[in-house]
Amino acid sequence: MHLSWSSPWFRNAVRSAVALSLSIAVAKTVSLQHPFWIVLGTLSALRFDALGTGRTARQALVGTTIGVLVSVIFIEVIGNNPPVWWILFPIALFWAAYTPGTLSLAIGQAGFSFVVIVMFSILTPARLDTAAARLIDVALGLGVSLLVSLLMWPRGVVESLYPRLREAMQAACDFYVAASDWMAGGAIDRRLLGE
């Protein structure tokens, strides 16, 4: 049923596949420290339409920039001191996990960027270029998701989603009426009941 161009889920799946494939191609062609962040950046911003993708990409870029700036301050102050980074780790995890759903995506993205830098600082000596690489890679990924959203169905699946929702609500109402009639012992339209 959903394997058609009129299906909003199929269209969104095709767009997501193209965006992720393109971001993997970009990640394989550029020589950056951690190119997988490009794919994560693409995945985090892609929404049903270009407007939603642009809004999410802007928030993610602002949040990543804030997270990188906070990370740079901590790198400069703490340096190569793993015990301090270990103390910061649960705080950073709480920040990244709690804030996206309660405060905003930008604050959550800042927290996630900080978590990434804290983890790298625990594993290897903290460096400023890791923070800069995070910002560059995420910006590339956000750009890929925005480009794909603009080129493939920029208005998204909303136009095809509304008729599908209307059909689903009508089917649910028909079933409810038929089930109520059946429970009350009244006349039953077996077609609506699905028997």
How would residue 16 be classed by pLDDT, with cut points 50, 70 and 90?
A: confident
So what's the pLDDT on residue 72? Answer: 93
Q: Is the pLDDT of residue 192 over 60?
A: no
Closest C-alpha among 137, 149, 166 to residue 68: 137
127 versus 102: which is more confidently predicted? Answer: 102
So what's the pLDDT on residue 112? Answer: 92
95 versus 39: which is more confidently predicted? Answer: 95
- Residue listed under structure tokens 């950056």: 32
pTM of the model: 0.71
How would residue 157 be classed by pLDDT, with cut points 50, 70 and 90?
A: low
- Window from 37-46, 58-67, 68-77, 106-115 with minimum mean pLDDT: 37-46
Summary mean pLDDT of the chain: 84
What is the Cα–Cα distance from 141 to 118, expressed in whole angstroms?
Answer: 21
Q: Is the pLDDT of residue 188 over 90?
A: no
